[in-house]
Copies of this chain bind each other. A is one copy, B any other.
């Protein structure tokens, strides 16, 4: 688990012309490889030797190895001694596991922020995200909807005062990201889901932790069930 809150997912690749305070090569390798994994740029299941990755990112094997150790620890890739690294395929069962954890933890966040109350800015961020989701629904733009949905959850989670909680949730969220993107166009129009988000915002505004908790839990369970259904009915056993 990573405790430090990681940066956004944007990547500045090799050399960052004006990109902050000179990250180390290890860090670059980690960021670059992780981005490629999340963006599904590595064919799932295929292997990449350390040297290939080193050539790809134009650095030596040492920082590559450090990045791989981290990525393997976080569950994104597997390191098989003499075969290289590969992006771990995610099964329907894996998704169920991930959603179970996210459900438990995010519901906790929902209850926490409902109990404490959010600043007007935080509430506004949530509302904006919901608005964008609704707009995307009207345009039938799945990608835009997913982006807004992600923004909503990210906003919510970032409002938690529990640093470790934020970190773990982000971690699992990222693991699910690839699959969510791949199944986006297979799911029904997420109208129900958008409404649930709005309900959650209301519960938070009403400062009703139990209600917020329940709404979010139900929301998550519904999403998990739907995803399981999509995966099985499309025979997607490994992504």
Contact = CB atoms under 8 A, between A and B. Distances in A.
Interface in A59-104: 65-66, 69-70, 73-75, 94, 96-98, 100-101, 104
Identical subunits present: 2
A182 to B, nearest CB: 20
Contacts of A237: none
A74 B2 CA distance: 6
A interface SS class: helix
A164 interface: yes
Interface in A1-23: 1-3
Contact of A100 (B1, B66, B108): B108
Contacts of A105: 101, 104-105
6 contacts: A69-B69, A94-B164, A98-B164, A101-B168, A104-B104, A104-B105
Given A1-B75, A66-B69, 13 more contacts: A1-B1, A1-B171, A1-B172, A65-B66, A70-B73, A73-B74, A75-B164, A97-B163, A98-B164, A101-B162, A101-B168, A105-B105, A168-B168
